[in-house]
């Protein structure tokens, strides 16, 4: 009886030591989960989720503070990926955070722009160039379509233009599976 107890205690001590050692030796810097979540998020940096950027939202998801269905640009597919990664149930996009829209980029009406630079400051990815009292313009390939520049514009000269499909970006449709229902 005593021997058994000693052996069990001994094993516990050894394993505990091994685990303790491993936790120090193989410590992972940072939180890989946050990185993984961040990789799924679309990096629009639009803040529609209620967090200032994709990384903070990823952090919030990892901490369990935010739900996975708060990202409209990521859409349903993004939620599915997050659900897969985190082993949670899929849920539809929460409506209070917005709706999924086709990818758009901002377009500044160059006739109306007064050169106030407010949109330049609002842009989370520095995709707008221009100088004070000079016309501004959007660097289209860099624009994430976050719409954050629309609100600050004092003359409302920014509109969102859906991105047009080109031959390079055109995609084949998923083949429709035809099952002829019996007559």
| Site residues (vs another protein, CB under 8 A) | 38, 41-45, 47, 52-56, 114, 116-118, 120-133, 139, 141-142, 144, 151-154, 165-175, 177-182
Task: Write down the least CB distance from residue 76 to another protein, Å.
Answer: 13
User: Between residues 26 and 174, which has the closer beta carbon with respect to another protein?
Assistant: 174
Rounded least distance, CB 175 to another protein, Å = 4
Instruction: Give whichever of 25 and 178 is closer to another protein, judged by the CB atom.
Output: 178
Q: Which is nearer to another protein, 38 or 93 (CB)?
A: 38
Instruction: Please state whether 92 falls in left (phi above 0), alpha (psi between -120 and 50) or beta.
Output: beta
User: What is the H or E stretch that residue 162 is in?
Assistant: strand 158-162
Contacts of residue 137, defined as CB under 8 A and 6 or more positions apart, other chains included, come to: 108, 110, 128, 129, 130
Q: Which residues touch 169 (CB under 8 Å, ≥6 apart)?
A: 163
**Cβ pair 164, 103 in contact under 8 A:** no
Nearer to another protein, 93 or 120 (CB): 120
């Amino acid at each position: 009886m005593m021997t058994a107890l000693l052996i069990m205690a001994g094993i516990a001590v050894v394993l505990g030591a091994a685990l303790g050692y491993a936790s120090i030796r193989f410590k992972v810097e940072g939180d890989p989960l946050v990185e993984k979540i961040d990789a799924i998020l679309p990096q629009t940096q639009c803040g529609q989720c209620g967090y200032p950027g994709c990384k903070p939202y990823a952090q919030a998801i990892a901490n369990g503070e935010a739900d996975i269905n708060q990202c409209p640009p990521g859409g349903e597919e993004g939620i599915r990926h997050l659900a897969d990664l985190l082993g949670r149930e899929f849920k539809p996009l929460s409506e209070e955070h917005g709706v999924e829209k086709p990818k758009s980029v901002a377009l500044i009406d160059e006739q109306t722009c007064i050169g106030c630079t407010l949109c330049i400051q609002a842009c989370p990815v520095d995709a707008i160039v221009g100088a004070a009292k000079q016309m501004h313009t959007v660097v289209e390939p860099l624009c994430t379509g976050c719409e954050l520049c629309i609100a600050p514009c004092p003359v409302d000269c920014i509109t969102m233009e859906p991105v047009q499909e080109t031959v390079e970006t055109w995609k084949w449709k998923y083949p429709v599976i035809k099952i002829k229902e019996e007559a």
